[in-house]
Structure 1
Amino acid sequence: MKKVTIADVAQHAGVSKSTVSQYLNQRYDYMGEQTKARIEETINVLGYRPNILARSLKQKSTTTIGVIVANILHVFSTQVIRAIEDVCNEKDFHVIICNADNQPEKEKKYIEMLRAKQVDGIIAFPTGGNIALYQDLVRENYPIVFIDRLIEGIETNTVLLDNEKAAFIAVETLVKNGYSKIALLSPPFEHAITPRMERLNGYKNALQEYQIPLNEEYIVSGKTSEMQSLIGKLIYLKDPPKAILATNDHVLMELLTYVKKNQIRIPEEIGVIGIDEVSFADIYSPSLTTIAQPSFEMGAKAANLLFERIQKKEIINQAKIYRFEPKLIVRESC
């Protein structure tokens, strides 16, 4: 079956090929309503489908960006992706989502795949394991924006939370509510994962500010598979904590699971506060006090920064770090 071309549409509609091209690119400034209606009707009658590959070669743009997320199961990640997709939809861009699972090997494959597909830019939650590869992209002036994590040695615009302030506010809230024995629960501490290290620093700074001695036994980190056992050891210390700061949504879920399973009362027996607002926070009983990230604003900022780089196509003289303010949401858990 013969493929329908722009020339066929133009001939059938009685207009020039350039007019059809302007219609397809939504440039209607000097186009009458009757002409637009006639072209639209012709396209529907003939079943014309634009050649996306040919258009991308001509425009030197695939109108597509890639997003490499560290772990798509985090609430923060999904909300950021949604915001990025909203911005891209407004600009008629497509989004390819890649989940690296915090594995540098997967991240490397996704970077190479996205480059092979000639996406116009990449937003990444970097693992920290592909520094040389990202440095090459920066040297090539390839549009790239980091979100949630800083990687030493790579100069590119980065969007993230003021993580130290988030943890400081959490501890401060607990202290003001009468708690002094405060534990921190976290995924494994890795220097490449900025939020974990910065939230640990914020926790320590707050303890120092309020003259509370640091108890190393109260700092607990581990994989999700280990978390129930680690929480049990924490709860049954000789001098156990009276409140726990969960540093992300997954850790909070593990803590709530343990508390429910062992019939520990919140906040009577243990105070709980979490960083990352979760959808069930206000309907959980008791409702959960959290430190929220403005994830939609952060995702939109990352997308807009990337589009600025795509459009300007110029080397940035100095990469900037954009920090967003955490927000305390007071409820009943501490």
Structure 2
Amino acid sequence: MNTNAYKSLLNELDAGKKAVMVTIMNDKENERNASPEKIVITEEKLRVCHSIDNLDGIIYQKAQLALESGNIQFVKGQDTITHLMEPYFPEPRLIVLGGGHIAKPLVEFGARLGFLVTVIDDRPSFANEGRFPDAERVICESFERCFDLLSVNESAYVVIVTRGHRHDLDCLRQVLKYRTAYIGMIGSKRRVKSVKEQLLGEGYSQEQLNKVNAPIGLDIGAVTPDEIAISIIAQVIGYRRLTGAASGNASASKINWPELDRAVLEELGKGENDPKAVVTVISTKGSVPRKAGAKMLVWPCGRTLGSIGGGCSEGEIIHMARDILRDGGCRIHQIDMTGQIAEDEGMVCGGIMEVLIESCSEK
């Protein structure tokens, strides 16, 4: 069932790392009913190696492209072997240090944009779920000790908006120990300069301090807490979506952020022997309800987990998945949501999705 591959993938994502899962499908007559083989290639391995296991150079290059662009790659060989390369990016985490008047709208905007948000403040009246209902976690702890409770890694976007100079320093000293996707600190130019000079005197390098966006946010003339929060979250989005944003590169290129259905991956990583089919959106064209990478599980009884968009089209895929569970193997199917089909189903979509349906049960 490729359980180890899914466990390995989840371990990478939990560590804040990117990875590519390669699915190898064999159309040989005697292999059609077998479940596809899966290999997880870590970001580090792609960075330092020039070949991966038994995969040829073209597959290796396509795996690199998948990771760099965030787009699924699909290679059909001249023989009967087909490779699907799915990039996986960890969920972005927004860590807000300080629970004051700017943090409140910032947490709301971050959660609405798909970030898993954690808020930290040392005051119980500011660090509570009633004040931050949209946050995944609210921690009441000192800024010196809170980092032992956090998972700060390369998928973390850290925003320092504390109430004072001393707390800013405490937070920045801690954050600079980690590799993060983004660091931003609020404050006037004079206050920021003072903080950086003090840290330089403590032995922090100019290179480390250059990674800190301070004063924080895009320069849009923001005045109110809501406006300042918008300027901050807009800058964070730039770091998430654009390569080169971290270096201020004007020619930064856009990165696709693939869909991630964690509940589906966790179910696949359990190693349970009950038969189920995995449905994966592998390509899209036009307006569709889910992007490439979206997944759904289908059990023989018709029970499902996850979704590829709902509607009659999903119902058709569920029937096909149950057939594949009976016969084994995998199949690629096109879902047409254009024209009359979309109109009949009352959908605003008007695109086409290709989905891979594969059996997870051993035949």
Instruction: Tell me which protein shows more helix as a share of its residues.
Output: 1
- TM-score normalised according to structure 2 size: 0.30
Larger Rg: 1
TM-score, length basis structure 1: 0.32
Task: Specify which structure has the higher proportion of strand.
Answer: 2
